[in-house]
Structure 1
Amino acid sequence: MSSSDIFTSEVIGTMVLVLLGGGVCAAVNLKRSKAFEAGWVAIAFGWGLAVLTGAYIAQPSGAHLNPAVTLALAIKGDTPWSDVPVYMGSELLGAMLGAVLVWVAYYGQFQATLREPDAAELKNANPGPVHGVFFTSPEVRKPLLNLLTEVVATFVLIFAILTQGLSKDVEGHVVGLGQLGALITALVVVGIGLSLGGPTGYAINPVRDLGPRIIHAVLPLPNKGGSDWSYAWIPVVGPLLGAAIAAGLYNVAWG
């Protein structure tokens, strides 16, 4: 597979992933949205369907959409290490573009929310009124615990992805799950959101958090507040650690 094929597939797939995932967060959190206050279940299922859609779009490149997935597949031996920078750079760019599209699609709702009388008072809140649309924030700010939550949640995701390759046919040949794997992965994401998303908002994908955080920092949003850069390393390092642990365990058990 050429670098240009990887780039095109991962940029578009990750862009759609973040557009739909960030979009459900905007729909639930921004005033004047028809889905305002729809709740956590809507967000968990929205992100799962975002993964499903992005994965089908990005099938030509293997639909990584996530540096944690790319790292795990490189450790497992399925992805050449020379392709890792292309995958990760494409995923970051796609996530940034997706965040811009969320802003475009919900421009009126962003303005309605951030021009409310109390918006200026909430400007320095952490999390602020629109932070959740772009990036994750912990409910209880304890860096080590927050990091461990991201490690555990990502471990579940990556181990579920890697073990799909253990599926066998009636004759014992390894066949994997094929296109069904995208659906299984999407449901795993929903499950992680419902079960493990409460403490930190379950980034489980470094670029899903970092890309939109960068866009939040540069967008001309009134009363948007800071981008919480002191926390930004956790949803990047945690998923990568979780992926490395999952891939290492997989190699020990079945490699």
Structure 2
Amino acid sequence: MITSPFLGELIGTMVLILLGNGVVANVLLSKTKGNNGGLIAITAGWGFAVTMGIFIAQKFGSPGAHLNPAVTIAMAVKDNNFSNVLPFISAQLLGAILGATLVWLHHLPHWGATNDQGAKLAAFSTSPAIPNAPANLISEIIGTLVLLIGVIALYAEAGSGMAPLLVGVLVWAIGLSLGGTTGYAINPARDLGPRIAHTILPIAGKGGSDWGYAWVPVVGPIVAALIAGGILNGFGF
């Protein structure tokens, strides 16, 4: 079996987005069996998606299973080693585009059956409940900081066997507690890759991709990654 860190990050992120954005599509698109399933279904689905993405990334050759540029950047700052930043982020972004494309294919008849263009975009990328760039940025920074510090703590305390399951619980908790403001991207690739896919795919009846907001779920998690990496380095984690 061919494995590599690049392949692991690509396939793991692809699965993360397929299952994560898949649950959003299942809840929001018309005439699906999960239509109107609500916030609990979406947050739980994303938590499970993260767990499965981690396990699959590890199997395909990425033992760290970052699946998130914020994790990659935070670890690079923490360890003062930036050699993985470009290849990992490239793999994560490509995997996110592929995962979003699979979500589109899987729900192919439902795009035309859905009139709400906002719901279609939400099945790809995030948007704020109340558009306010400074507040939205703060939300993304706080949510990502909880994720990054939590991931480090879980792997230190729970070990590599249980940690992926608990990271899924952590993401579920972030979604339930902090996700109502911006949709908790907390991962630049998770938002940017699917937004690119939304832009280029022939989605029936789609609207715009809201590129005016797109910088927030990219910049916020990166700022959080720099802060978290500095904290972890300073405390010797």
Write out per-residue CA displacement over residues 67-116 of structure 1, whole angstroms, 9 at most, x where no aligned residue. Answer: 001011111118x4122100000000000000000001000111211xxx
1:223 aligns to what? 205
> What is the letter of the counterpart of residue 87 of structure 1?
F
1:206-245 paired onto structure 2 within 5 Å: 206-245=188-227
1:48-67 paired onto structure 2 within 5 Å: 48-59=47-58, 60-61=61-62, 62-67=64-69
Write out per-residue CA displacement over residues 148-182 of structure 1, whole angstroms, 9 at most, x where no aligned residue. Answer: 00000000000011223543xxxxxxxx6112111
The number of residues matched between the two structures is 233
1:93 aligns to what? 94
1:72-221 paired onto structure 2 within 5 Å: 72-77=74-79, 80-113=81-114, 119=115, 123=117, 128-167=118-157, 177-221=159-203
CA distance in 1, matches of 2:161, 2:73: 21
- TM-score, length of structure 1 as denominator length: 0.88
- Give 3-state SS (helix, strand or coil) of 2:164's partner: helix
Identity %: 48
The runs of 5 or more residues in structure 1 that have no matched partner are 114-118, 168-175
1:14 aligns to what? 13
TM superposition outliers: structure 1 runs of 4+ over 6 Å: none
CA distance in 2, matches of 1:38, 1:74: 38
Compute the displacement of 1:32 (Å).
0.7
> Which structure's CA Rg is the greater one?
1
CA distance in 2, matches of 1:83, 1:102: 28
CA distance in 2, matches of 1:147, 1:94: 25
CA distance in 2, matches of 1:177, 1:189: 18
Write out per-residue CA displacement over residues 115-137 of structure 1, whole angstroms, 9 at most, x where no aligned residue. Answer: xxxx3xx55xxxx2311100000
> What is the letter of the counterpart of residue 130 of structure 1?
K
- Give 3-state SS (helix, strand or coil) of 2:40's partner: helix
CA distance in 1, matches of 2:43, 2:154: 22
CA distance in 1, matches of 2:144, 2:56: 22
The runs of 5 or more residues in structure 2 that have no matched partner are none
Alignment check: 8 A CA contact 2:72 2:84 kept: no
- Give 3-state SS (helix, strand or coil) of 2:203's partner: coil
- TM-score, length of structure 2 as denominator length: 0.94
- Give 3-state SS (helix, strand or coil) of 1:236's partner: helix
> What is the letter of the counterpart of residue 205 of structure 1?
N
> What is the letter of the counterpart of residue 219 of structure 2?
V
RMSD of the TM alignment (CA)?
Answer: 1.6
